[in-house]
Structure 1
Amino acid sequence: MKFDLHTHHFRCGHADGNIRDYIEAAIAADLQVIGISDHTPYFGSPEEQPFPAISMAKADLAGYVEEVLALKKEYEGKIKVLLGIESDYFPKHAEVYQRALSAYPFDYIIGSIHHVRDISIFNKNRWKKLTPEQQVADKEEYFNLIRQSARSGMFQIIAHMDAMKGNYPPFSEIMTDAAIDETLSVIAECGLAIEVNTSGKTKLSGGWYPSNAILEVAHHHGVDITFGSDAHKPSRVGDEFEEVAKVLKEIGYTEWVYYEQKQKVTVPL
């Protein structure tokens, strides 16, 4: 069975196409399950849409949910359409996010860390003039936030676990093995899945999130795995699904998962 749980569309302000485009692309790619998971509004501000190039407006959320649910019915029998969403985890705003999202019948919520110390993880300038010790501290804080998100109870999936390397490939060489090991142990204890996210090819790092080395540690801890292209254009739906499955088998995985009504569905690799 082929599936893709991580896709975006025009509402977030930095993706192409509408939801139907992604569903049709999934059918063309022979997927049986497609998850729609655009970025939530930013709930940490009273403004309607403080970051229009990053996330949808608050007023768009209900329409987003309604559209996905309508398309789920329309495409029944052709492909399973799942209602997902990708939500940043901000510790100081976690409760307001949880309240806002609990009003909707999401099949799953993807938890993401996109900011560390209030700077985007994709901002390569953040690393300039940092000492080696400061680099380690920033990387450890990134994984600390992932652990907090896993423990929050808000999510079923942890997104792009080492995406901080996206525009700074040397991130992978900063030695924080203990923090990574602890993070995967916490994710396993909390019963969440991590995604293999193939969108790293669109950044300077290339490759997938997370690295194969991290996937091996995840397997050691018994962490569930899912798949997400993180497509921001329909042509990337299901991108490298077979290649990911092959690598996971080599690591020792025999199955992966998706979520329906927040319940885990296991799929043989």
Structure 2
Amino acid sequence: MTSFDLHTHHSRCGHADGSIRDYVEAAIASGLQVVGISDHTPYFGSSEDQAFPNIAMAKSQFREYVDEVLSLKKEYAGVIDVLLGIESDYFPEHAELYRSKLAELPFDYVIGSVHSVGGVSIFNKGRWKGCGAKERIAVKSEYYRLIAESARTGMFQILGHIDAMKGNFPAFSDIPASGAIDDCLRTIADCGTAIEINTSGGTKLCGGWYPSDDILERALHFGVRVTFGSDAHRPSRVAEDREAVAARLKEIGFGSWVYFKERRPVTVPL
């Protein structure tokens, strides 16, 4: 059975440790047959080469990143399948610019992630201070509206960590917005996009994985495909909790998960 991890970063983004080769070697050591490299895209919405040095790679590093992954893909052929991925923020105002930039290169898949709502990072705990019940519901509903909108663009094969807003604010999960979540999952299913089970939640205040079991149960109900990503920012986290995730998915009722090659899904039984 093919084992994979599609969500890994490296030093170019400015907030991860290690080279791409380090992650490939860690994947081999973990017994994976497939590893996807998916560092953060440059911020294309600015004229600066590297608008956010500790968040995303520079524009001038983008092509060298792609070339390095493709070189490692050839070097490790027959040992492990190295896939060229990328994680792209979803910025509605820059969507077409990102679409054109991402279409120029031979990505096996693109992970689309919403990292900010209303111009504030989803991981910023301060946004919730003085926020009443109605405001909390509005913020959560807007988060899921943006995720659904990102699915409708068709730009992404995978949607990243779809309840990561709980990362540094665990009470996010208790904000009542089940209608917005269900609408989002219906849209994702209709678009044929996959969601990842992302184990990096264990590095945040919330602990555990993204998304929660109740969201995964709803995803199964609506027919949403799932994939796996550790979101490793250091090589030692590659494939973290993969077996436990597979067991949990089977308990919930999933029979398979997918990875993407040349932007097409490859189904793997659980």
Is TM-score (shorter-chain normalized) higher than 0.5?
yes
1:173 is matched with 174
Q: Distance in 2 between matches of 1:99 and 1:19?
A: 25
Amino acid at match of 2:160: A
How far the C-alpha of 1:190 sits from its partner, in A, is 0.1
Q: How many residues align?
A: 269
Q: Could you report, residue by residue, the CA deviation over 1:191-245 in whole angstroms, capped at 9, with x for unpaired residues? A: 0000000000000000000000000000001100000000000000000000000
Match of 1:8 in 2: 9
CA distance in 1: counterparts of 2:139 and 2:180, whole angstroms: 11
- Cross-structure match for 1:125: 126
In 2, Cα distance between equivalents of 1:245 and 1:100: 34
Partner residue in 1 for 2:43: 42
Moved over 6 A (4+): none
Aligned to 1:249: 250
Aligned residue for 1:107? 108
Is 2:192 the counterpart of 1:202?
A: no
Equivalences for residues 46-195 of structure 1 within 5 A? 46-195=47-196
Q: Distance in 2 between matches of 1:206 and 1:25?
A: 23
Secondary structure of 1:82's counterpart equals: strand
Q: Look up the equivalent residue of 1:179 and give its one-letter code.
A: A
Counterparts of 1:103 and 1:204, CA distance in 2? 38
CA distance in 1, matches of 2:45, 2:146: 17
Distance 1:234 1:78 in 2: 18
Whole-angstrom CA distance in 1 between matches of 2:13 and 2:28? 23
* Matched position secondary structure for 2:52: coil
TM-score normalised by L of structure 1? 1.00
User: Unaligned stretches of 5+ in structure 2?
Assistant: none
- Cα distance in 2 for partners of 1:181, 1:139 equals 13
Name the amino acid aligned to 1:211.
S
Quote how far apart the aligned CAs of 1:101 are: 1.1
Deviation, 1:246, is 0.4
Q: CA deviation at 1:11?
A: 0.3
TM-score (norm 2): 0.99
Tell me the distance in 2 between the aligned counterparts of 1:101 and 1:183.
Answer: 24
Give, in angstroms, the shift of residue 93 of structure 1: 0.5
Q: Is residue 240 of structure 2 the alignment partner of residue 239 of structure 1? A: yes
Tell me, in whole angstroms, the C-alpha distance in 1 between the residues paired with 2:263 and 2:96: 19
Aligned mates of 1:210, 1:235 — CA distance in 2: 22
Deviation at 1:97, TM superposition (A): 0.6
Gaps of 5+ in 1: none
- Aligned equivalents of 2:216, 2:154: Cα separation in 1: 22
Partner Cα distance (2:253, 2:36) in 1:
26
3-state SS of 2:59 partner: coil
Deviation of the 1:163 alpha carbon: 0.1
Find the aligned partners of 1:85 and 1:254 in 2 and give their Cα distance: 27
**Alpha-carbon distance in structure 2 between the residues aligned to 1:18 and 1:126:** 34
Name the amino acid aligned to 2:67: E
Offset of 1:74 from its aligned partner?
Answer: 0.1
Q: 1:2, CA displacement in angstroms?
A: 1.1
